[in-house]
Structure formats: structure tokens, C-alpha cells
Amino acid sequence: METGIKELPTFLDLFLDMHRHFLGLTLHQWLPVMMSMLIIVSLVSFCHLYTRRLERVPGSVQALLELVVEFLDDLVKANMGKVGAAFVPFIGTLFIYIWVMNIIGQVPLFRSPTANYNTTLALTLFVFLLTHYYGLKHNGPLGYLKHLMGQPRWMAPLMFPLHLVQEFISRPLSLSMRLFGNLTGEDTVLTIFVGFSPFLLGFIPIPVQLPMVALDLLCATLQAAIFAILATVYISSAIGTEEEKH
């Protein structure tokens, strides 16, 4: 489905007819998937290249990676406690993946996959499934049902339907729409600023969008962090009854 949202061209537009169809969809509709796959391949290659030979005295890149890992470890454990150690790889990967998807839209001829709702919805559904999987695993079906009923028990007739709406509707919608809306807004504003750029000597564009790019980089980082933090909060709340016993 084509949208009326203003978009800058990508490098694929230079080589492919983006209106051609593949498996029932235009190549333009496949663009978020192609960008996501490019990011995955790039991240895997980067991590393999710089972690295959770790040094006792780290170089600049290894030191930076260790700072990122330490930051993510502290972030997850601050929200989940000791049990968070098991979730650091998942939450850390989620944060880095979303952050790269967010900022790649600031690179000329690239597009942020997270500016497409299908991408943010897929990420949200993944978090949703893991949240309830670990909730059931840690508490058991009966314990998780009691968790959804809330406290005190005599409020269960009211709290249970409210918790169902929260867990199955409001949380997935807010998590997916927040990331999608912010990234779409940032990319749209950036596109408008690029369109308003004047030219020096008639052919040299003046980058009036640079202040907006700096703001977008900050917002992209914040949105990735918010998504990761909310994922930790949702998972920790799902396994919370077991944590209270310990």
C-alpha cells in the first residue's frame, strides 16, 4: 500500500524499478525488509570481525564494544534484578538492532526500516511472545493466571479483564506505534528540510538539515532505549510473581 508520506530516494531507486512486483508486493513495499536484512548482515559481519580475536588489553574498537556491553548489562539488571543476566543478550541485541535501524535513515540514500509500521509491529510481537512465554515458564499456567488477576483477589473480576486489555492490546499497540510514529515523523521532517535546501552557485546544496540530523540522532537513540527498557519492564512484570517468592 502506497502512502502519502514524503520520502527521500534510496540507492535501490538508482538501480531498480521500485514499482516492479515480487511475490505480490512492489519492490518499494519490500524496501524495509531489504534494509533490515542489510543491517543484520552488516551487524553480524562487524561483530564477527571485531570479536573473533579479543585482546587482554583492548584496542579502541574493543574498548568501545566493552563499554556498550557494560551499559546494556547495567540497563537490563537495573530493571530486572539478578534474573536480568539471562536477558542481557536478547535486550542488548534488540537495542543495537533498533538503534542501527533508526539512525540509518540519516545516511543519504538509505531508509529507516522502523519508519514502516510492519517492522515495529514485528518487533513488538516478538517481545509480546517472549513476555508471555517467560511469564508462563517462570510461574506456571496457574501462577500466571493469578498474576493477571492482580491483588487483592476480590478485585479479580475487575482487574482480570483490565490486565487482558493491557497485555494483549494496549501494550503491543503503544510499543509499536510509539517507535513507528517517532521515526516516521523524524524522517518526514528531514525530507521536508532537504527539499527546502537552497543551492550555492545554483548547484551546490546548502545542508540546512544538519541541525535536524543531530536532533534525529538523539531521538533515534532515545527511542531504541525506550523500546528496550519497556521490553525489560514487560518481561520482568510477567515473571514478577516468581521474583516476589524468592
The predicted-structure confidence for 139-197, as pLDDT tens digits, reads as follows 888 888 887 777 777 777 778 888 888 888 899 999 999 999 999 988 888 888 877 77
> Is 49 inside a domain boundary?
yes
Estimate to the nearest angstrom the gap between the alpha carbon of 229 and the chain centroid. Answer: 11
pLDDT band at 200 (very low <50, low <70, confident <90, very high): low
Residue 218 clears pLDDT 50, i.e. is over it: yes
Higher-confidence residue: 109 or 154?
109
Residue 2 resides in a domain? no
**Number of domain units in the chain:** 1
Domain of 166, in residue numbers = 11-245
Q: Flag whether 161 is in a domain.
A: yes
Residue 121 in any domain: the answer is yes
Higher pLDDT, 50 or 198: 50
| Residue 4 confidence (pLDDT) | 52
Largest CA distance in the chain: 75
Which has more pLDDT, 178 or 53? 178
In the predicted model, what is the mean pLDDT of residues 86-104?
A: 94
Whether the upstream peptide bond of residue 32 has omega within 30° of 0, thus cis, is: no
How many CB atoms within 10 Å of residue 190? 20
Query: Cell 493491557 appears where?
Result: 166
Please determine, for residue 241, whether its predicted confidence score (pLDDT) is greater than 50: no
What mean pLDDT is reported for the chain?
A: 84
Say if 4 falls within a structural domain. Answer: no
Q: Is residue 138 part of a domain?
A: yes
CA atoms of 170 and 163, how far apart (whole Å) = 10
Binned at pLDDT 50, 70 and 90, residue 1 comes out as very low
Share of the chain above pLDDT 70, in %: 93
Q: Whole-model pTM? A: 0.86
Please report the pLDDT score of residue 227 as a whole number: 95
Mean of the pLDDT values across residues 16-25? 77
Is 208 within the bounds of a domain? yes
